[in-house]
Structure 1
Amino acid sequence: MRVALGMCERLIRLLKSRLLWRHGQALGVVALLCLLLHGNALDSSKLLQSAQRFSPAAVQRTQALVQEMEAVGNGPEDEKLKAINNFFNRTVQFRDDRDAWGMVDYWASPLELLNKGQGDCEDYAIAKYFSLISMGVAPAKMRMVYVRAQLGGGVQAHMVLAYYPEPTAEPLILDNLITDIRPASRRPDLAPVFSFNAEGLWQGVGGSSAGDPVARLSRWRDILSKAKAEGWW
């Protein structure tokens, strides 16, 4: 595994020095490759070291997260899902991007979110995704899903994290609106639009492929780079 990780680092340095692809696409592709190669294990010391670059609040929340992760680290995946879903839902306050980040649309890295203690639906889903990866859950079992959510008599854009116990199984939904984890069939309030993870981009949650998420979603490419720098994989 050290050989694989070393190869990833060399590829990234090579691409940075030679600028082989435009707009950082190559770096995103290599980051994706390294994520898939990496047999993830929690590196709490690196996470805490990275959190120190933010604030004491980031360190405190990261320490609390690490304790949750270590408490269920050897347990079944359903316990990991519940622990991570509950942690972020109770620790992070929902705020619109304009209020939290001063931007119309911003995707925060997990440590940015823990530092701020505020974020919107994308931030919850991203933080849960990388936390579960660092606990050994395979990236292929999870997808970020953009949905149309029925809320307060209206419909609004929303993002959730879907977990697939098996490739053809009904996904479980990790959400900040309805905080208990439910099968997709018990979330009639959500209408999937498209989904993505480190491996692909799909129409809906299981439709035809819609392309390479690293190439088509620049914010996702940026998040992959930030998450690696912070120590999530």
Structure 2
Amino acid sequence: MVLRENAMHACRTDSDESGRQAGAVAHVRRREACAYLGCAGFAVWPIRGHAEAAPLQRGRQEFDALALEAARLGVPERIAFLNAWVNQLVDPRADAPAHDDWATPYETLARGTGDCEDSAIAKFFLLLASGTPDAGVRLLYAWHRLGDRPSDRPALRRAHMVAVARWRFEDPWVLDSINMLAVPLSRRDDIVPVFSFDEQHLWRRLDAQPLPPPRDRLRPWQALLGRWRAQSAH
């Protein structure tokens, strides 16, 4: 009986969240239309027409505008809004294996291109900048299963990174560069968590307790944080 009640509650919750998410994505579409048609009452959106702005400054302007808009939304709508907008602004492009550097959000938005790590990192910091609690946001390194059926064979999977958000991470929402809609991890059979992290901690999969230092396995992340703090200070 308890399991049935929980399942019914989950179904109602998914339905409610799906409705809110659809509204948030529709909000993205309305803003996009107004940006290009010049609707009254809206700022220029996105800020790609400012040719005089230096590339990094343009990226910062876009970041600040997105964070300000997202802060006006509830957390479920905010997640959907940021996932959809970053996916529209950042064209997917893989780095060369020998130059797989992780970009800061300003760098990614300024370029308008990036791989899965760059998009996930931009969403991670946008969630934080728009007021989402630190304890409810992580980056997740995972295996992305390819094909129609789950398989553990390495030939049918590839490394992938996404942002995840939800307090306690029991079934977090996945913000993914290959999916316009943010959906709960339980509905992403193609995503196999390996480890997650934020600015301070590293976890095995999505565990509650962090792993002890050192975190030298995340040297690209530490290098990015140094650049991000320097860029944000100006």
Same fold (TM over 0.5): yes
1:130–1:232: 8 Å Cα contact kept in structure 2? no
1:65 Cα deviation from its structure 2 partner = 4.1
Counterpart position of 1:70? 68
The residue correspondences of 1:12-31 to structure 2 (distance < 5 A) are: none
User: Using the alignment, how far apart are the partners of 2:84 and 2:90 within structure 1?
Assistant: 10
1:148–1:190: 8 Å Cα contact kept in structure 2? yes
Q: Say whether residues 1:134 and 2:136 are aligned partners.
A: no
Provide the alpha-carbon RMSD of the alignment. 2.8
1:125–1:144: 8 Å Cα contact kept in structure 2? yes
User: Using the alignment, how far apart are the partners of 1:212 and 1:142 within structure 2?
Assistant: 20
User: Using the alignment, how far apart are the partners of 2:233 and 2:142 within structure 1?
Assistant: 26
Counterpart position of 1:183? 184
What do residues 180-217 of structure 1 show as CA deviations (whole Å, max 9, x unaligned)? 00001100001111111123111111266333375441
2:119–2:177: 8 Å Cα contact kept in structure 1? yes
Secondary structure of residue in 2 paired with 1:167: helix
Q: Say whether residues 1:79 and 2:74 are aligned partners.
A: no
Q: Which amino acid aligns with 1:177?
A: I
Q: Say whether residues 1:161 and 2:166 are aligned partners.
A: no
1:69–1:135: 8 Å Cα contact kept in structure 2? yes
Counterpart position of 2:145? 150
1:162–1:171: 8 Å Cα contact kept in structure 2? yes
2:143–2:160: 8 Å Cα contact kept in structure 1? yes
Counterpart position of 1:118? 113
1:71 Cα deviation from its structure 2 partner = 2.6
Count of aligned positions? 178
Secondary structure of residue in 2 paired with 1:136: coil
User: Using the alignment, how far apart are the partners of 2:69 and 2:209 within structure 1?
Assistant: 38
For structure 2, which runs of at least 5 residues remain unmatched after alignment?
1-46, 149-155
Larger radius of gyration: 2
Counterpart position of 2:212? 211
User: Using the alignment, how far apart are the partners of 2:82 and 2:195 within structure 1?
Assistant: 23
Counterpart position of 1:171? 172
1:55–1:115: 8 Å Cα contact kept in structure 2? no
User: Using the alignment, how far apart are the partners of 1:57 and 1:197 within structure 2?
Assistant: 27
Counterpart position of 1:94? 92
Relative to structure 1, the CA distance from residue 212 to residue 84 in structure 2 (aligned partners, 3 Å threshold; closer, same or farther) is farther
Counterpart position of 1:5? none
Q: Which amino acid aligns with 1:113?
A: T
The normalised TM-score by structure 1 is: 0.67
The normalised TM-score by structure 2 is: 0.66
1:63 Cα deviation from its structure 2 partner = 3.4
What do residues 39-63 of structure 1 show as CA deviations (whole Å, max 9, x unaligned)? xxxxxxxxx9xxx9x9645544543
Relative to structure 1, the CA distance from residue 72 to residue 209 in structure 2 (aligned partners, 3 Å threshold; closer, same or farther) is closer
Secondary structure of residue in 1 paired with 2:180: coil
For structure 1, which runs of at least 5 residues remain unmatched after alignment?
1-47
Counterpart position of 1:192? 193
RCO higher in 1 or 2 (8 Å CA, sep ≥ 6)?
Answer: 1
1:230 Cα deviation from its structure 2 partner = 2.1
Relative to structure 1, the CA distance from residue 213 to residue 82 in structure 2 (aligned partners, 3 Å threshold; closer, same or farther) is farther
Q: What is the aligned counterpart of 2:100 among 105, 109, 126?
A: 105
